[in-house]
Amino acid sequence: MRGKLLVVEAMMGGVRTKAIIDTGGQATIGNNALRDAIAERRKRFELQEDFITGATLDVQPGNRGVTPPVILGGVMVRNNAMTFADLAIFQHWKLIDEPAMLVGMDLLGLLEVLIIDYRRKELPVKLFRS
């Protein structure tokens, strides 16, 4: 995206979303447009207050809840929870009005294989088998 971000299409609870691969992020964070789109499709979507601490130790409020499965490529991750907030970075990338998420290491760490091939514009992933 704009030659600077690694963005893939993902699905969460029937909502198409832009998934920004953030290997430097500890946790996966969704924007409020994603939160609202999921809430429209679910009978129960309980959220509780949460706080996000950035790399500069800046703290922003958000809402955390258990989300529907995330489908990223051929991989489905269930029992995922994430915090939703319209972080400044979503505003910077002009991703406030459409569903988007930063996919952090909490989700990426579940993968057995994650290859980022910028030249081919591919992101092969494979989930651990237990």
Range of the domain at 117: 7-127
Residue 61 in this model has a pLDDT that exceeds 90 = yes
Q: Which of 111, 95, 124, 80 is nearest to 20 (CA)?
A: 95
Cα(21)–Cα(51) distance, rounded to whole angstroms? Answer: 21
**Is 1 inside a domain boundary?**
no
**Is 29 inside a domain boundary?**
yes
Q: What CATH code is carried by the domain that includes residue 25?
A: 2.40.70.10
List, for residues 65-121, the tens digit of each pLDDT value: 999 999 987 788 887 899 999 998 899 999 999 999 999 988 887 777 666 666 666
Cα(119)–Cα(50) distance, rounded to whole angstroms? Answer: 38
Cα(69)–Cα(38) distance, rounded to whole angstroms? Answer: 11
Its pTM stands at 0.84
- Strand 70-72 to 7-12 pairing: antiparallel
Q: Which of 85, 109, 103 is nearest to 34 (CA)?
A: 85
Which pLDDT score is estimated for 19? Answer: 93
Question: Higher model confidence: residue 35 or residue 112?
Answer: 35
